[in-house]
Structures are given as structure tokens and as C-alpha cells.
A and B are shown apart, each in its own frame.
Chain A
Amino acid sequence: MNKREIIYEYVPDKKTKISSFLDDNIISIKNILKDCDDVVYRQFKIGGDAGQDVFLFYIDGMANKELLDEFVLQPLMLTARMVPPTYEEIKEKLFDASKSAAMAITDFKDSDYIEEIVLAVLSGDTAIIIDGFEKAIVVATKYFPVRGIQEPTSETVIRGSRDGFVETIRMNTALVRRRIRDPRFKIKQKQIGVRSKTDLAIMYIDDIADKKIVDEIVKKLDAINIDAILDSGYIQQFLEERTFSIFPQVQTTERPDVVAAAVYEGRIAILVDNSPFALIVPVTLTAFFQSPEDYYSRSDVVSFVRILRVMSGGLSILAPALYIAITSFTPGIIPTKLALSIAATREGVPFPAFIEAIIMELTLELLREAGVRLPRPIGSTIGIVGGLVIGQAAVSAGIVSPIMVIVVAITAIASFTIPNYEVSAAFRLVRFLLMILATIYGLYGVMLGLIMVLIHLCELKSFGVPFLAPIAPFEPSDLKDSLVVRLPWKYMIKRPKHINPKDEIRQVGDEDDEQ
């Protein structure tokens, strides 16, 4: 029998043994959970009035009350008394008996420490302590309001599954597990956040994923010592090697099929509780230009769409910069007639091309931001106000030229074709850089700007994988599924090499097919 110890104040990371005197435990728990009015305490007896005292507590709203009533309280209080063995016979091993014979529940844990059971209760479980025993039963009763599975709003597809991640990590892991029925698919769980104790799952296939990357992730996660993790965005920022880069080095997705596909390629996914966004590493620039649909539709159409995306990506960076460079430095490059008509429309415009372009591009950014923040019913009016009133009125007021409005419209549409939001945001920033350089140096400045961006991209690595792979370093076999083409599935025999998969073969097929 240990010495009687009562907790008066909660100290994190301390572990206090559960005492065999039930009252001591009750005082300790109530001290820890003082002023936490959402906690429900229940004390009852097993084996009638003469029986053993039992204490149970849970958080109201996070535990399943019906399950507790029906499968914990009812068997312990009533049913157990009606059938043999009687209470007197098993008095000494009541703890094990109630676990193995009384409660009809699948998921139990034993716990020896008060702090441990308090944490379990705070995550939605129910703790049961029986008088005279130095341990507690933790019953998995997590049951809290969850959002139903809906179609992800940030990544819509025409062809492809419609289920998206929700805020509950358990449901999310299940959505991925449903797609990977392989015991080698591992889901390693962790708790991060000193106060929030947020659940986090690292998912990978053991014999495909690069073990070095898994270790690196675990190392980085263990180093996090923040009080709370509210979203996977927190984790993302801790994982990225280059903190001050405009390009994301971690892919985020709301779609379980994207996670499953990435895991099958040898990447590693991370799910965070309370966030419908999964993280995927390592990632390359090409991945950001791919939509999950690319793998479900037929390859020729997909290849065309991918070329279109790359071109519109280029356009969304370059269009206003080229406008500035050409109109103010080298109008001779474009046909004389066009140059003249641009000059004619710009005649009444009082600003230099750069100011004109900046006004319109900033207006566009404002409209976009306003459209996102406003409640949906008002959101549509922004489109009308922005598109018609500002565009039309700015031109007729002579502040901008109609060509500039067209340029801005093209940039906006082009930037929407990039499937990933974060990369399209990065491209928006690059666009402003190029506009400034175009103002100073014309086409030469645009080239210098592109070179600078490219230097940064070449330097960037995501968990050891160069960001521009498979183009730089050049990996011919990975070009089958890259920026501009995707071959039919029949021909994609191997997994992408640049991710360093342990097992390169995706299909056991005829080797000749590959050529």
C-alpha cells in the first residue's frame, strides 16, 4: 500500500499514483478539475449497499452518455448482481472481473496515474476508479459533435471521389485507411502542444517511404514545444526548412484520395486533429500543378490541361510585367498597329504604365480578398461592383487603359487555373516583383526577375528532395508524370524516382512496356 498522497495543485508532467483509498483520489481529481464545470462526477456501489464504492467521471458533451448508462452503469449496478458469481465471491478481484465480465465495451485501457486519467477524460474518455484498487479503467467514450463528410471546397473535381477530410482525426485516418488496406501502411500517432495535447498522425507505407524522411519528420515534431496546435498550418510552418520562402514546401490537401496517392508514391502524410487539411511531404513544384483529377481522366486530355496550366502559370506571373516592359521600353517588339492602338488608348491616361498596372492589380487583389471574407450572399455583389463598376468606370474616367483591364482580367483567370492555392498566392507575389523590375529595366528586368525566382526554386528543397525535381535534377523516367504530360497508367510502371522510394516498382508488368 503506497503512502496517502493528495494533489492540491496540477503540475504538468508530474505523475501521481492512484491511491487505494478512493476518497483521496476523489479529492485529488476534484482539486485538479476545480472550476471546470463541464465535468460530471458519479459515485455508486457495486454489489448493493454493502458493496464496493466506484467513482466515475467524464466531460459532459464529449463522452457518450448513452453508452455509459447502458453498458457501464447498468451492468455494474444491476445486471452483475442478478447473475453468479456473487459480489462476495469476487470481492478481491473486482477490478478485473468488472472489466472482463461486466462491461460490454470493446475499448478499455488501464491507467495507474491520476494525471493520465485526467488527460484521457479531457479528450472525451471516461475514467472509472474502484475503491481498494490502485488503478483506474479508462473507457473510450469519445463522442462529440462532428461535421459530416462533405465535398472539399478548396479542391473540387469533376471526376473523382467527393469525400473530404473533416475536423476529427479518427474519421480522417479511417478515410485514408479505407483506400489502403495494407498492414504495411502505418499510422503513427503523437500528441503535440503542451496544453492543447493535439493528436497528430504520421502516415506512410513502411516499405515504400524513405525512412530518413520519416525520422526527420519525427525529429522535427518532437522539437515542437508550443502551447497549442490549432491547425495543421502550425505544423506546416514548423516542418518547412526555409521559413522565409514564398513557396510552400509542404503540400496541403483536403482530399483523402490525394493523401492515399501520395502515400502510395512514397511520400509521408501528416494529419492533425481539428484540421481538415492534411500535410504531405516531400513535395515538388510539379505536385502543385497537378489536380487529383489528372490521374482519373484520360491521359491525352490531362496532358493538354497540364500544358494549359503551366502556360497560365507563366501568364499569371508575366502578363502585367510584359505590359509594362513593352509599352514603356520596347514598343517596337509588337506589331506597329497594335503598338499604335495601345498608345492611342493610353493617351488620356495620366499615369505611367507601372502606376496603371499597380492600381489595377491591387484592385484585383482587393476584390479577391473581399470576396473571400464576405458572407456568401453579399460576396456575389463584390463581383458586380468590381467587374462592372470599377473596370468600366476606371476606363471611362481615363484612369486606366482598356488594354490594362484586359491584362488584369487575363492574369486573374490564369492564376485561378493553378490548382494549389498557396502556390498561386506565391505567384501573385512574384508578379509584383516582376512588375517592379520591368519598370526599372524593361524586358531585361523581367528576365533578371525570373532568374532570381528560379535561383530560389533551385536552392529550395523539401525534405532533401530538390523542389524542381524531376526537371532539375533531370530524371527522364519521372517525366512520364510531370509538369506537362501524364502517360496512361499502363506505362507508369515505376514510382517517381525523385522521392527516393524504397520500392520503385508500382506495377509488376512487362519490362518492355516501359520503352
Chain B
Amino acid sequence: MMNSNDKISSYQLGVLVYLTVLGVGILTLPASMAKEVENDGWILAIIAGILCIGIVYIMCKVGEKYPQNGFVGTLKILFGKFLGVILALPVFFYFLLFTSLETRIFGETVKLFLLSRTPLEFIIIPILVVSVFLARLGIEPIVRFFEAVTPAILFVLFFLILIAITNTDFSNLKPVLSHDLLSFVKGVKSALFAYAGFEVLLIVFPFIKEPNKACKVSRNAIFLLILAYVIVIIESYAKFGVKLTQTFMYPTLSMIKASDVPGAFIERIEGVLEALWVLFVYTTIVSLLYSLSIVAKDIIGHIEAKHFVAIALPFLYLTSLIGDSIIDMMQYGDLITSTLGLYTIFILPIAMFIVSRFKKAGAKQ
């Protein structure tokens, strides 16, 4: 009412990027990395992270040049009104499908660890509905929510890393760097999508109070993500060995299951962890849902973004139920990430960057 309702500070941006990326990715990451390059999975995670920082840099360069235009607005300036909208459409579908993918994987893990007899539909509906509650409130309450849960999330992450350290054998990591460059290049694509979510930076740029600090803050957030990912991958390898890690669906949760905390009151920690994981996934879904609504709003015209949040709900529900099993869903997820995802995270920002170099600075509105 009295304070502006649409500006976020640098710290809030960092929290936003961090919690958006941190979702279900970390649950499956050790397995997918082990499938790509075996022992060198953690190196691959670092490479992908650094690559992401490069993309963040590019996004910020474009954002700094057009700080107030918003994502679709910038596209329109760079590529013209019609082409801009056409180019923005895949991004919209990417956000839609990525959100539903995230929701589905989360629903499956909840079913697996907490509510084995509850139908998947009834697990997915409430989290989507609750996400709509927050996403429709606008950017400021969203980031406030993210800030409020940050202590809890950091605590859970720390706790996870700490208890997983039991019964580990770090010689499992050997040999280091046993793969050639080509397999790294092949594998980096799937590693890159563990960091998917930082592209919200494109969307929230107009809301940032200090756009010149956005790059630094996002970079730091991704550094912290690399740290968390690398620790989890290394711990998983050290605990199970690479071959066993490859066979797990959710190695991170299995890792907790296999950990034994002496004298602990809680017997099955992975159940508690799964419950707390709701926060991780929830923040991701909300952030993506909000981005989706902003893109949809800008594509169609000047209508309130919050309407699109509610409109998206049935579509999210339907798309999140695609595929009979989680395996089907994962394959379909790979398809999304390797087409729409690659386009949104990689191709489009670079294209925007290149075109913006050729545009005159006077194009600012």
C-alpha cells in the first residue's frame, strides 16, 4: 500500500534464483551424472555451473541495456513486434511444461515416501492450488515468502549433507578425469538442466531495484548451487559407488535412507526429509508459475498477470499427468529440456545478446 509492491532487492534476487533452481533436480542429479560420465560426474556439475554463470552474464548484459522493458518487451525491441512474440511462445510452453514436470516428479516422490496409497492426482492438485495462492500475489510477497523459508531450506540442506556423510568411502571417487573431452561435451547438456530455473532472471529483471548488481548476486547464487550439487554428488558416489548410484531413481533420498544416525529419535529420516522437500519444490513451482504468467501477460497484452496464474492451473494439472509412469515422464522431460529448454536457457539469451550488440543504445524507451 505505502511501499511499492513490485521491487526486489539484490539479496531477494539471489534468494529467488537459488530457490528456483533448487527443486527436484538435486534428488536425481547424482544418478544422471553417473550415467553420463561416471566418476567425473561432480566435475561435469561444476562445468555446467560455470557455463550457467556465463549465460547469466549474457542475460544481465541484455537486461542492463533494456532494464524496464521486460522479457517479451525486449524481444519485441530486438526482433520486431511479430517475431518477438513468436520467439516468446516457446518460452511460455517451456515454463508450462517445466512446471508440470517438476510437479509430476515431486508427486511421484511424495507417493513413494509418504502417501503410498493416495492417488497421484490428489497429491498434485493441492500443491498446484497452493502455488496459485502465492503466485497470484505478485513478485513482492513471493520473494518475501522465499526469504522466510530460506533459513529452513538451508538448515535442511545442511542437515542432509551432514547425515549423509556417515558410512562413506571416498576412494569410490577414483579415478578422477578418466573421460575424454567429448563425453563431457555430450554430458554437459543434461547437467545444464540441473541448473534450469535461473532463467527467471530474464523475467524478473524489470523488478530489480539495482540492476547493475543482478549479475553478481545471481552468480553467487549459482556458486552456492554448484557447491550443494557437488557435495551431494560426491557423497552419493562415496556412499554407494558409481555403479550403484546409476541404478537409483532418487539417489539423494536413498542416500539418506542408507544413512544411520546413531542415537537419533527419528527412525526414517527420508520420510521427514521428503516432507520438508515440499518447500524446495514449492518455491520452484511458484517461481516458474509466476514467470509463466508474466510471459503470458506480455504476449497477449496488458491484462493482470495474476489471471493467467489461475488459468494455467488446469493445463498444469493435465500436462503433469502425461505418461503412465515416472519413466515415461522422465523421457518426455528429456524431450522438453533438450528442445524447449535448450532454446530458452541457451539459444535465445545468446541470440538476444548478439542482436542487442548491434542495436543502438538509443533503443531504450
Contacts and interface: CB of A to CB of B under 8 A. Distances in A.
Given A458-B141, A473-B147, A446 B266 contact: no
Interface in A287-337: 329-330, 332-336
A212 interface: yes
B184 to A, nearest CB: 38
B198 interface: no
B1 interface: yes
A451 B153 CA distance: 13
A292 B45 CA distance: 51
Given A447-B279, A452-B130, A464-B3, A458 B144 contact: yes
Closest CB pairs A-B (n = 4): A464-B2, A472-B147, A443-B275, A472-B148
Given A443-B271, A448-B127, 12 more contacts: A329-B114, A330-B271, A333-B266, A333-B272, A334-B267, A442-B114, A447-B276, A458-B137, A459-B141, A464-B3, A471-B148, A472-B148
B110 interface: yes
A447 B106 CA distance: 14
Given A332-B268, A452-B130, A458 B3 contact: no
Contacts of A105: none
Given A452-B133, A472-B145, A333 B268 contact: yes
B118 interface: yes
Contact of A455 (B3, B9, B11, B133): B133
B268 A468 contact: no
Interface string A441-471: 1111111100110110111010110101001
B149 interface: yes
A23 interface: no
A441 B268 contact: no
A331 to B, nearest CB: 9
Given A448-B126, A473-B9, A454 B272 contact: no
B205 interface: no
Given A333-B267, A451-B278, A471 B2 contact: no
Contacts of A463: 2
B118 A441 contact: yes
B275 A446 contact: yes
Contacts of A454: 145, 148-149
B134 interface: yes
A474 B114 contact: no
Contacts of A336: 267
Contacts of B115: 329, 441-442, 444
B123 interface: yes
B12 interface: yes
Nearest to B117: A329
A248 B12 CA distance: 26
Interface in B105-155: 110, 114-115, 118, 123, 126-127, 130, 133-134, 137, 141, 143-151
Interface string B1-23: 11100000101100000000000
A241 interface: yes
Interface in B149-170: 149-151
B282 interface: yes
B144 A473 contact: yes
B358 interface: no
A212 B265 CA distance: 52
Given A444-B114, A464-B1, A464-B2, A455 B137 contact: yes
5 contacts: A333-B266, A333-B268, A443-B275, A447-B276, A472-B147
A466 B144 contact: yes
Given A455-B141, A457-B148, A459-B141, A443 B272 contact: yes
B145 A455 contact: yes
Given A441-B115, A446-B275, A464-B3, A474 B11 contact: yes
A216 interface: yes
Nearest to A463: B2
A216 B2 contact: yes
Contacts of B279: 447, 451
B266 A334 contact: yes
Contacts of A444: 110, 114-115, 123, 275, 278
A374 to B, nearest CB: 40
A216 B2 CA distance: 9
B316 to A, nearest CB: 16
Nearest to B272: A333
Given A441-B126, A472-B145, A451 B2 contact: no
A10 B54 CA distance: 80
B271 to A, nearest CB: 5
B278 A447 contact: yes
Given A329-B114, A336-B267, A473 B12 contact: yes
Contacts of B9: 473
Contacts of A474: 11-12, 147, 150
Given A441-B115, A472-B145, A334 B1 contact: no
B141 to A, nearest CB: 5
Given A464-B2, A464-B3, A458 B148 contact: yes
A175 B130 CA distance: 47
A442 B115 CA distance: 8
Interface string A401-440: 0000000000000000000000000000000000000000
A317 to B, nearest CB: 14
Interface string B72-100: 00000000000000000000000000000
Interface in A203-223: 212-213, 216
